[in-house]
Amino acid sequence: MEQFALQFFIACVTAAGFGIAIAAFGCGLGQGMGLKAAVEGIARNPESSGKVTVTMLIGLAMIESLCIYALVISLILIYAHPQAAAIAGLFAKGH
């Protein structure tokens, strides 16, 4: 039983690691592109700084929340999996 629980835990940790890695990669790219465009816009037209900053703020908040979602899911997978005991039990029954 412990062996199967351990297998299940390893699978959860691997999924959490890949999940947050992919999310951070995507969000990093997205935020970087947004920031680049905004800073270029401000450099070309400094008067538009306020408008560009507000638009960028909303975009960044949206992208950042996606990364926080992924972090939450990863932490749930490792520390608070709702069906952990039941799935470990199924593993044990199956073998």
Partner 1 sequence: MNIQERLLKFVTLTNWILFITASIAGLIMSPPDFSRGIIFGGLIVTVNFHLLYRTLKKNLSPSHLTSHNVILAKYYVRFFISGLIIFFLISNHYVNPIGLFIGLSVVVASIMLATMVEFKKLFFKEAV
Rule CB under 8 A: which residues touch partner 1?
Answer: 38-39, 42, 46-47, 49-58, 60-62, 64-65, 68-69, 71-72, 75-76, 79-80, 82
Nearest to partner 1 of 5, 60 (CB atom) = 60
Give least dist CB 7 to partner 1, A. Answer: 21
Nearest to partner 1 of 3, 49 (CB atom) = 49
Nearest to partner 1 of 59, 89 (CB atom) = 59
Alpha-carbon gap, residue 61 to 57, rounded angstroms: 6
Give least dist CB 89 to partner 1, A. Answer: 20
